[in-house]
Structure 1
Amino acid sequence: MAKATKKQALGRGLSALLKDPDNDIQSANDKGADKVVGTIVELDIESIDVNPYQPRTSFNEDTLQELASSIKELGVIQPITVRKIDFNKFQLVSGERRFRASKLVGLKTIPAYIRIANDQESLEMALVENIQRQDLDPIEIALSYRRLIEEIQLTQEEMSNRVGKNRSTIANYLRLLKLDPIIQTGMRDSFISMGHGRALITLEDTNDQLDVYEKIISDKLSVRDTEALVRKMQQPETTKSTSLKEVPSFARKAGRELSDFFEVKTEVKANANGKGKLIIPFKNKAELERITKLIQGEK
């Protein structure tokens, strides 16, 4: 108990040091920086701004209230991390849920680790820390990986070393961002899992992806059921008639022109002798009627 009291008193002492304008710490080389940086300090909540680089974009209100109740009962067990941006002014690097929950219960101060970092370092710290969390959905993690690549300009190999994940794992997350936005939203809302998403991404046609997605929801398909359904849909691609496998150039050209004309992805199959078939897909009755009118030459 004595150790805990001493630690809290130290935190309050450092807090007072940070409020001394004659000893304002702006860099790791300033006097007193070694006493503050990396140490737990009790900071005024009002002196902390939220992080504009926060990868998490949504916070579940129910779980936030649960965390707030826990903090009210036990206090903030795990300190947040902040970076110093000005005199007695700080910005969150990680721990926004703890920060929000602490404000909900009316705490005036919060324990924090202080870092001195530029914007890029702050973004990288926030992204890496959030990737390690267990409560992020797969799309949030994928977006964090993409931001590390695009904004921090890390290669997948460098990122693998930073976050402690295999490159194949990182690649699997990034591939999820190729899914239709509707499916991504479904994953974020926990209607489907990452396993479902990985099965869907193997379907090249977005309409096929959405059809299977709707079936997953309506029929409550497991990941294994989804994988089987996707394989079944892909099966015709591996059993094409050899006489139609090699599509002549005239048929490919006609297929492109018809696709432009009907505004749908048509498929033309033909053998070397010119014999074949034309497939014009449609999604609903209205689209079929539109295509029929085009065939009949109606406006």
Structure 2
Amino acid sequence: MSLVEAIVLQSLIRETTTVAEWVSLRSIQTREQPRHYFDPEKLEQLVQSIAQHGILEPLLVRPLQTDQYELVAGERRYRAALKLGLAEVPVVIRQLSDEEAVQLALIENLQREDLNPIEETEGVLQLLAFKLEMPIQKIPALLYQMKNTLEKEADAKNNVIPNALSDQEQKIQSVFQDLGLMSWLSFTCNRLPLLNLPNEVLEAIRGGKIAYTKAVAIARVKDDNQRQTLLNQAVENNLSLNQIRAYIRSIKPQPDPQSPKVFVTILHQRLLKAKLWEDPQRWTQAQELLSKLEALLEDD
């Protein structure tokens, strides 16, 4: 089943006129979801809403065995029902294959507005791993390989005919086109690097404690203690991105202006800015000095 077919199936299920059935909450089993974090405040709001109005949209389940079901979509409603101690919940029961169930669960989660970038990235990787039938750990390397190949083809000016896409590359492009979130290249360049962030920063993003743009800035702090301190302050005080950058500048070691390396760097910048070559007389003088410097370098 293609992603397009899965999305259509999801839409048909939502629009179905079939009357929901009531089943025991204990009879529903959950499977691993791409979504790890549920905002406690929003979950509590849902709990209060269900307590007042009931579950307005049935959960989507598939039958496993006699009187046992697997949850496909609707985990927030399921968790809220657990908190309320409900004995039964309304469900729509559909005969779904493993492939259909996995794709529907992934798509359901990827379409959530409050899915944070880390969870979205992990969800897309799970979907790619499923479609390509390969371990999720190998997907990033495959995407980086595609990116490198694309860059090499762009640099090869004489290569007017691009190489044909492999089956894997075609499937990857198809997944991103069907999802409509971003291109595979944008995902590779902007989202995959997020998974290399320090663990405490990753957990803060997963927990919805901080925006990923702020987290990326904090992750650039090399010192572990300074990074943890800044992360704590950013979360507790809801620091803006500008405030975080200002803090990073304040703790960044300042180079010794008298050091030879700094002196040469500053002089190089001044030379470029001065554009001595535009003044013939000054450029002649500069060339004499540069010749002496070049001769000094050749002695090495």
Letter in 1 for 2:181: K
Task: Name the CA distance, whole Å, in 1 between partners of 2:263 and 2:131.
Answer: 46
Match of 2:24 among 23, 45, 54: 45
TM-score between both structures, scaled by the size of structure 2: 0.55
How far off is 1:124 after superposition?
2.0
| Partner-residue secondary structure (3-state), 1:184 | helix
Aligned: 1:160 with 2:139: no
Residues in 1 aligned to 2:199 and 2:299: alpha-carbon distance in whole angstroms: 40
Change (3 A) 1:186 1:61: closer
In the alignment, residue 44 of structure 1 is paired with which amino acid?
V
- Cα deviation for residue 99 of structure 1 reads 1.4
- Measure the CA separation in 2 of the matches of 1:179 and 1:150: 22
Pick which of 82-91 and 219-228 moved more: 219-228
Tell me, in whole angstroms, the C-alpha distance in 1 between the residues paired with 2:127 and 2:213.
23
Q: Paired residue for 1:54?
A: 33
**Aligned partners of 1:141 and 1:173 also within 8 Å:** no
1:59-106 Cα shifts (integer Å, max 9, x gaps): 455543432221121011122111222333321011112112223334
Range with bigger deviation, 62-71 or 223-232 = 223-232
Confirm or deny: 8 A CA contact 1:81 1:115 kept in the other structure. Answer: yes
Q: CA deviation at 1:181?
A: 0.9
Whether contact under 8 Å (1:145, 1:170) holds in the other structure is: no
1-structure distance, mates of 2:106, 2:297: 55
CA RMSD of aligned residues (A): 4.1
Corresponding letter in the other structure for 2:125: R
Cα 1:129–1:162 change in 2 (3 A) is farther
Identity across matched positions, percent: 28
Conservation of the 8 A alpha-carbon contact between 2:39 and 2:208: no
The residue number in structure 1 matching 2:210 is 192
- CA gap of 1:61–1:166, structure 2 versus 1, over 3 A, is closer
Q: Which has the higher contact order (CA 8 A, sep 6+)?
A: 2
Aligned to 1:147: 126
TM-score (norm 1): 0.55
CA distances 1:131-163 after superposition (whole Å, capped 9, x unpaired): 111233332222212212223338552332333
Which segment drifts farther, 175-184 or 113-122?
A: 113-122
3-state DSSP of counterpart to 1:76 = coil
Deviation at 1:169, TM superposition (A): 5.6
1:230 to partner: Cα distance: 7.0
- Asked whether the 8 Å contact 2:34–2:119 carries over to 1, the reply is yes
Q: What is the CA deviation profile of residues 29-86 of structure 1, one whole-angstrom value per residue up to 9, with x for unaligned ones?
A: xxxxxx9x95342231346423213222344555434322211210111221112223
Please tell me whether the aligned partners of residues 23 and 91 of structure 2 are also in contact (alpha carbons under 8 angstroms): no
Aligned residues: 210
User: Which residue number corresponds to residue 179 of structure 1?
Assistant: 197
Distance of 2:224 and 2:217 partners within structure 1: 9
Change (3 A) 1:274 1:117: farther
Structure ranking higher in helix proportion = 2
* Change over 3 Å in CA distance of 1:274–1:156 after alignment to 2: farther
Compute the displacement of 1:226 (Å): 4.2
C-alpha contact (below 8 Å) 1:131/1:144 kept by paired residues: yes
The change in CA–CA distance for 1:49 and 1:217 in structure 2 (over 3 A counts) is: same
- Partners of 2:128 and 2:172 within 8 A in 1: yes
Q: Give the secondary-structure state (helix, strand or coil) at the position aligned to 1:207.
A: coil
Instruction: Report what 2:233 is aligned to.
Output: 218
Answer yes or no: is the 8 Å Cα contact 1:84–1:115 preserved in 2: yes
Give the gaps of 5 or more residues in structure 2: 1-12, 133-167, 256-261, 269-295
Q: Please tell me whether the aligned partners of residues 80 and 98 of structure 1 are also in contact (alpha carbons under 8 angstroms).
A: yes
1:227 and 1:66 mapped to 2: Cα distance?
34
1:170 paired with 2:193, answer: no
Which residue of structure 1 lines up, in the alignment, with residue 53 of structure 2? 74
